[in-house]
Structure 1
Amino acid sequence: MELKVENLIKSFEEKRVIKGADYSFEKGKIYGLLGRNGAGKTTLFNCISSEMDFDSGKIYMTDEENSESMNYEKIGYVYSTPILPEFLTGYEFIRFFTDINKKKIKNIKTPEEYADMVCFDRSDLDKLIKGYSHGMKNKMQMLATVIASPEVILLDEPLTSLDVVAAHEMKEMLMNMKKDHIIIFSTHILQLAKDLCDEIVLLHGGKLAGVADEVYHSADFE
C-alpha cells in the first residue's frame, strides 16, 4: 500500500503555501516531515485528511494491485492541539470510542489495558479530561488512533508536549506499529526525525523532497 501526493497546490487568498508537492509514502515505514514553523506541514496534513480542501492536484492510496482509491476512514490524524470531549473522564472516553468503533476493532480491550499501551496512569482514568495536562490529552488522543488502527497515521508534532520518558515510550510504540501502517509525523526538530524515521521528507518552498539527513543540520529547522 502507498499513499501518493501528486502536484498538490493549496493557497490561502494570495499566498500559495503548497506549490505542486509530490511524494509517495509506503506502508511499513515511519516518515519524518520536516520544515520550519510555517512551512505548511499542518496544511499538508489537513489536505491529506480532508480536513481542508485543496486547490488542485491529487491525493490517493494504492493497494498491492496498484488500483487507486481514497477512503478517509483509513486515515487517522493526531492534532498538535488535542481535540477531546472534556466533559468525559478518560475511562468514559475510551469506553465511548471503542463502542462507536467496535466494528473496526479486532480485539477490544478494557480501558485500563488500553491506558497501559500508551503508559497512561490508570489512576487518571477517573478524572475529567478537562483537568488533564496537554501531555495527558496528547496521550489520550494518540490512544484513540491506536485503538482505531487506521492504515495511515498523521502525527502533527506528537512528542513535543511529552516528558522524556513518555516520549521514549511513544517512540517504541510507533516502531512496533509501523509494519502495518504508513506513519508520517511532522516536526521541525531534525534529531527527533533521525532517531525514529525510516525516511526524512523536507517540506520547503511548498514542495516535498526526500533528503539525505547528513546534508542538513538541526539548526536549519530551528
Structure 2
Amino acid sequence: MAYDHNHLAMWNQWNQEGGPNYPHQKVIQFVFRNFPPAVRSQTRVLDLGCGSGVHCVFLASEGFQVTGTDISEVGIANTSQKLSKLGLHANLKVEAADVLDFRSDSFDLVICVGVYDCAGSEVTKISVDKLSTLMAPGGRGIFLFASNNDFRFKHQVLNIHGFLEKEVKAIFANSFDKVWIDRYVTTYQGGQIEQNDWLVTVENLLP
C-alpha cells in the first residue's frame, strides 16, 4: 500500500513522541507460555509494526532472533537506538504491513499490536495472507487490534478502524492452520470508557 504523506507524517510524529515504554502484557504472557527459555535463541520472531521498538527490545532481551518492520522511519530509528544502548540486536526494516518482503517459512513467531486498526481492513487482509506463508510450520502468532466497540474508534483517536466480528472472521479465514478469535476488554470509570480489542492467536501445524 502506498501511504500518503499525511499518514506517514502522523506516524512519524507519534514515534517522535516516543510511543509506549513497556511491552503489552498479553504479548508477554503469550511469549512466555509458548516459548520457554531453551528454545528462544533458535526462534525467529517478526514484530510487525514495531513502532519505536518496545517489543523488539523485550524480545531481543529474552534471547529471540528479532526482526522489526514499520512504515515510520522515525520509529525504526528509535528502535535501533534503544537496542544499541542496551547492547541488543534486531534486523530492522522500514516497510508497510502489506509488503512483507521475506521468504516463506521465515518466522516461528509473529506479533502485531495496534497495527491493523491503524492500517484498515484491506491492508490487514493482504498482510495476514502473506504472514500465513511466512510463518514456519509449528509457528505461532498473536494479533491485537481495536474492535468497533473500542473507545479509540468511537472517538476517532488516530483515525483507527474498529473491526467488526465478521471482518475479523473473513480476514483470518483460510489463513493459518489454527485460528482462535477472542476479545481483550478493559473498562474504566465505571464502564464509561471501554478498551475493546480483538485478540487473535494463530498456529501453523508441524508437517
**Bigger relative contact order (CA 8 A; separation at least 6):** 1
Flag whether TM exceeds 0.5 (same fold): no
Question: Greater Rg, structure 1 or structure 2?
Answer: 1
Shorter-chain TM band:
0.3 to 0.5
